[in-house]
Amino acid sequence: FVTILIHTVWAGSEEALGALEFVDESFQALVVEKSQLLQAEYKQQNQSTEKRMGIFESTSRTPAGAKKDSRLAHAQILAAVCANLGSSTLSSQVLMRDKLISFLIEMVRFIDVLGDISSEIQQLRYCLCIISRELSLQLSVSQTQAFPPMLRKQLYGKFGAYTEEGQTQGLFRSELRRQIAAAKAAVKPRDPARIQEIERQIVVSSEMLEYAANMAMGAMLMGSVFDSDTKNPDGKVLTWIRRMLVAAETVSSEGHHNNWAPKKCDIAREALHFLLSSNLEMARLFVDQCYSVQQQVSSAYFLVLADVVMHTSSIKLDPQTLIALVLSKMVDPDADARSKASKLLHTIERRYKPDD
């Protein structure tokens, strides 16, 4: 039955893909194993760059009755499984873990040779973000040999290229406009309706990809820092987080706010939590950032720091530093910060209260 569903996904059925996403946990490893038949299919293809480029040459939807590309079908199936994994599944399912990591590394290499942002390629990148995030959440702390810091660093850098805040300001939008112009110019004969549809598909897929990439980048920060630059307030990682915290709310290509996606500030706050929870030695840096002149930045760092301090007694901050911070936040313009300061004060009183 699983094999039939996989073939049905390959044939273009979204219903079959949805069924695989919600398959019972006891069958998830089987789905990953059986999906290898798609890998066998695309490995038989000619491995020349020309052939690879030709796979995704169209920016239109897959024609009715035509099979979906086997790589994309494989990626979508694995992403669907990852979206519904138990919190510790990959720790116990070693074969499934290794297959997911192997697929991820192979597809990252494959995408590296492509300069295309067709709808299909964007979907493939989106799936890699979903898979990477789940791998990092489950393995970055408990199984660092299987999902090492250097792999997280590579993926973090890769996904940053799919976002506005993850690279040089303005470069992402500029590159998107260039790619759209190239795709529209390639349409022959000139069909206004087709040109408009191609542009819409690329923009929508890029918006979805940017959201998934930001989520994946945050997850890459779980576990020990992957380089010393991560601890630099002006380094790439903390600069990305700062830019996410102060970014305006995303407006979709249709002109309305993306209510389906978490706000960028919330993604950034989650990333800060992953970072500090795994690297308690960064607590002093977080304290410094709590005094940032940028309100969004100071509030986010304080809310995360307070949560970690309240739930982690081993964090090394002296009570004087914490009390001074709490007193400053008692009059903070942010109501959430004021409320959290009051709760943190009670924690400090309990933790540092002298013995009677």
Give 287-297 pLDDT, tens digit per residue: 999 999 999 99
Q: What is the pLDDT of residue 34?
A: 93
Residue listed under structure tokens 């301090």:
309
- CB 205, CB 119: distance < 8 Å: yes
Q: What is the pLDDT of residue 117?
A: 62
Beta bridge partners of 48: none
Q: Express each pLDDT in 109-155 by its tens digit.
A: 888 766 566 678 889 999 999 999 999 999 999 999 999 999 999 99
Task: Please give the Cα distance from 356 to 338 (Å, whole number).
Answer: 30
Q: What is the pLDDT of residue 251?
A: 56
Q: What is the pLDDT of residue 194?
A: 85
**pLDDT band per the 50, 70, 90 thresholds, residue 78:** very high
Average pLDDT of every residue of the chain: 87
Q: Express each pLDDT in 254-273 by its tens digit.
A: 554 556 678 999 999 999 99
Q: What is the pLDDT of residue 354?
A: 60
Q: What is the pLDDT of residue 44?
A: 74
217: nearest Cα among 134, 279, 148, 155: 155
For the cut 90, the answer to whether the pLDDT of residue 344 exceeds it is yes
E strand residue ranges, 163-299: none
Q: What is the pLDDT of residue 260?
A: 65
Compute the average pLDDT of residues 189-204.
Answer: 85
Task: Please give the Cα distance from 89 to 79 (Å, whole number).
Answer: 15
Q: What is the pLDDT of residue 61?
A: 45
- Helix (H/G/I), strand (E/B), else coil: 11: coil
The backbone torsions φ and ψ at residue 108, rounded to the nearest 5 degrees and listed phi first, read -65, -45
For the cut 80, the answer to whether the pLDDT of residue 58 exceeds it is no
Compute the average pLDDT of residues 100-117.
Answer: 84
Q: What is the pLDDT of residue 270?
A: 98
- CB 226, CB 156: distance < 8 Å: yes
For the cut 90, the answer to whether the pLDDT of residue 280 exceeds it is yes
Task: Please give the Cα distance from 340 to 334 (Å, whole number).
Answer: 10
CA dihedral 147, 43, 162, 31 (to 10 degrees): -60
What percent of the chain is modeled with pLDDT above 90?
61
- CB 80, CB 144: distance < 8 Å: no
What percent of the chain is modeled with pLDDT above 70?
88
Tell which wins on pLDDT, 355 or 328.
328
- CB 199, CB 183: distance < 8 Å: yes
Task: Please give the Cα distance from 267 to 182 (Å, whole number).
Answer: 32
Per DSSP, 162 falls in state T
Task: Please give the Cα distance from 201 to 180 (Å, whole number).
Answer: 10
Task: Please give the Cα distance from 101 to 333 (Å, whole number).
Answer: 45
This prediction's pTM: 0.88
Angle (CA) 82 272 329, round 5°: 140
7: nearest Cα among 44, 83, 19, 63: 19
**pLDDT band per the 50, 70, 90 thresholds, residue 59:** very low
- CB 77, CB 100: distance < 8 Å: no
Tell which wins on pLDDT, 287 or 39.
287
Compute the average pLDDT of residues 178-184.
Answer: 83
Task: Please give the Cα distance from 61 to 201 (Å, whole number).
Answer: 9
Q: How many other CB atoms sit within 10 Å of the CB of residue 107?
A: 20
**pLDDT band per the 50, 70, 90 thresholds, residue 249:** low
Q: How many CA atoms lie within 13 A of 280 on its CB side?
A: 12
Task: Please give the Cα distance from 306 to 326 (Å, whole number).
Answer: 9
CA dihedral 57, 61, 67, 71 (to 10 degrees): 60
